[in-house]
Structure 1
Amino acid sequence: MPSDQRPPAIFLMGPTASGKTALACALRAHFPLDLISVDSALVYRGMDIGTAKPDAQTLARHPHALVDIRDPAQPYSAADFRADAQIAMQASTDAGRVPLLVGGTGLYFRALQRGLSNLPEADAAVRARLAAEAATIGWAELHRRLAQLDPVAAARIRPNDQQRLQRALEVIELTGRPLSELQSGGAGEPLPWRVLKLALLPGDRSVLHQRIATRFDAMLSDGLCEEVAALRARGDLHPDLPAIRAVGYRQTWEYLDGRYGLPELRERGIYATRQLAKRQITWLRSELDARVFDPERPGLEAAAQAALRLFLGSA
């Protein structure tokens, strides 16, 4: 059998607060790697604290492509990411280096590797009407409607996930076909890189939960509320934007609206982050071809280095 002649690329995946960035930077010190962020929140400028964005010193020493490339008023899609990531990957390969894509947005990893379904473009009129309906009858009622029209999609979309729920109903209206049916067909050209997948999956979920709580407390201490207040003060941002719906930002926006106090902000922010981590872990467990590492076990960096050496064929 002929060997795979595609250039190499590495996916470093894991739930939030699992130590992906630290490991990526450590690996870059030993291998000719270019880091590419796979994070739906890190793309936004001015959203640094609540996204746990690497600080300026880290980014100067270990540059990450696809960080700070959008204003929060500009939505960023999986299709946008796929196009941008392939440009960054090709630049890395052309320079004789290896792209390492690091992050926790499973949809982006999947879109990059498997391509995107042939879905219609967003329709502003349909979306506005669905939003108006939701304001009248509630998103839970729209979720019940989706369950009748596309039970497969409804099973994986939470009733309070307004963005995905709206999109699923929009697709049905525009195409007359269920979103799950269109997505099952797959689409797009195969990724022209051979990929090593590394997944950080904590064996003890309680340790990850503690890390999430500690990190959210640090965000509050570092000025998360002030950061969101500055975003609100712009006047052109609102809670329905994908950037503001990001975990931590939505809860802080509601706190600044006066809907609850600081203790409840902390509780809600930590809970939402834990739920995000749970969804990320569930997705990662479906990536059966990934090399799994427990980020809390000693020797993580050495084990990851060994996997890269074997994959890249270096000594």
Structure 2
Amino acid sequence: MTLPVVMLMGPTASGKTDLAMGLFDRLPCELISVDSALIYKGMDIGTAKPSPKELARYPHHLIDILDPAESYSAADFVDDVQPLIDNALATGKLPVLVGGTMLYYKALLEGLSPLPKASPLVRAEIEAEAQALGWQALHQQLQAIDPTAAARIHVNDPQRLSRALEVYRISGQSLTQLQAESGSPFTYPTVQVAIMPADRVLLRERIRLRFKQMMAQGFLDEVKQLHQRQDLHPELPSVRCVGYRQLWAYLDGECSLDEAVEKAIIATGQLAKRQSTWLNGWKWPLLQLETGHKNNLDTLLCELDPS
């Protein structure tokens, strides 16, 4: 029997990592992180990275592979994950992709679009416009040139909004046009799993509680260590990660600590909502599991081996 590639997706704080670890205990697996924040070394508490003890017992690929000063793209992820999947299958192990960076899954499943490389000059121009006019005005620009992308990208998602405008200004073609020219799709069989909360209020409470626990574990000290580095700044993808950019703003004197914490909790909730929106519009078949349900592992095992 050909082993499938298992994809454990869901919003932040939904229980993806726990399910992956449970599966690892029951089947020969290779765990592969699909998380654009867990790639960074020294960013442990605020990313809810598995502890060193957990990683020793449940090793994950693509965790702690870059310094926070470096950037990582969906193309980099596809290049890195393909040989990991191939090697797992070649050794009779189940590749288990776990994480909530939906763009990475989409790039893997659909292939990569011929998008232009990032231009620091164009990005700086867009950032300056955002400072002068506000992101709402830039979202209106995107609506005019690429209404499909504008409908998908929220005005409160400046990273993706900036990238969509950058692509158009560099290439003269919209992001939607270029994405229609994707490469070959993923050919392996998959079991795609969406771990979703039945109660959004409960998920918001989980997010709030988890962030409070992060603060108690020393998250602020972690950000202080990064803030002291001369080569890091707020425009880097690592520093823009949810939680980090809010505490960074506090350390820059832009707000109080209480305000930074509340903004971070709200931003984490917005991230969870965007991840849920991705999954609600997902075009591939999904096995739906409920956050925290005690039978999730058994349900997944039955899906993998119906006999």
Task: Indicate whether the TM-score tops 0.5.
Answer: yes
Q: Does the 8 Å contact 1:13/1:199 carry over to 2? A: yes
Q: 2:245 aligns with which of 250, 275, 293?
A: 250
Amino acid at match of 2:170: L
Structure 2 unaligned residues grouped into runs of 5+: none
Runs of 4+ in structure 1 off by over 4 angstroms are none
**Match in the other structure for 2:192:** 197
Distance 1:259 1:124, change over 3 A: closer
Instruction: Indicate whether 1:21 and 2:17 are aligned.
Output: yes
Q: 1:282 aligns with which of 256, 277, 280?
A: 277
Shift of 1:132: 3.3
Q: Does the 8 Å contact 1:115/1:186 carry over to 2? A: no
Q: Does the 8 Å contact 1:7/1:192 carry over to 2? A: no
Shift of 1:170: 1.7
Shift of 1:130: 2.6
Amino acid at match of 2:64: D
Instruction: Indicate whether 1:94 and 2:95 are aligned.
Output: no
Q: 2:42 aligns with which of 41, 46, 49?
A: 46
Give TM-score, length-normalised by structure 2: 0.94
Q: Does the 8 Å contact 2:247/2:260 carry over to 1? A: yes
Amino acid at match of 1:98: L
Residues of 2 paired with 1:189 and 1:11: CA distance? 19
**Match in the other structure for 1:149:** 145
Q: 2:183 aligns with which of 163, 188, 192?
A: 188
5 Å-filtered alignment, 1:1-315, equals: 7-183=3-179, 185-287=180-282, 288-310=284-306
Give TM-score, length-normalised by structure 1: 0.92
Shift of 1:286: 2.0
Structure 1 unaligned residues grouped into runs of 5+: none
Per-residue CA distance 1:221-249 (angstroms, 9 max, x = gap):
11111101100111111111111111111
Which region of structure 1 is more displaced relative to structure 2, 38-47 or 264-273?
A: 264-273
Residues of 2 paired with 1:174 and 1:262: CA distance? 39
Distance 1:6 1:115, change over 3 A: farther
Residues of 2 paired with 1:137 and 1:88: CA distance? 44
Amino acid at match of 1:187: S
What is the SS of the residue equivalent to 2:44?
coil
Shift of 1:7: 4.5
Shift of 1:190: 2.2
What is the SS of the residue equivalent to 2:71?
coil
What is the SS of the residue equivalent to 2:305?
helix
Residues of 2 paired with 1:135 and 1:35: CA distance? 41
Q: Does the 8 Å contact 1:6/1:193 carry over to 2? A: no
- What number of residue pairs does the alignment pair up? 306
Q: Does the 8 Å contact 1:153/1:168 carry over to 2? A: yes
Amino acid at match of 2:222: E
Residues of 2 paired with 1:174 and 1:78: CA distance? 19
Amino acid at match of 2:190: V
What is the SS of the residue equivalent to 1:29?
helix
Residues of 1 paired with 2:118 and 2:83: CA distance? 24
Identity %: 49
**RMSD of aligned C-alpha atoms?**
1.6
Distance 1:72 1:27, change over 3 A: same
Residues of 1 paired with 2:159 and 2:277: CA distance? 20
Amino acid at match of 2:243: G
Distance 1:180 1:300, change over 3 A: same
Shift of 1:186: 4.4
Residues of 2 paired with 1:156 and 1:190: CA distance? 21
Residues of 2 paired with 1:300 and 1:212: CA distance? 20
Residues of 2 paired with 1:51 and 1:24: CA distance? 17
Which region of structure 1 is more displaced relative to structure 2, 47-56 or 160-169?
A: 160-169
Q: Does the 8 Å contact 2:15/2:292 carry over to 1? A: no
Per-residue CA distance 1:108-165 (angstroms, 9 max, x = gap):
1111111111211222332233333334444333222222222222222233433222
Shift of 1:198: 1.3
What is the SS of the residue equivalent to 1:245?
coil
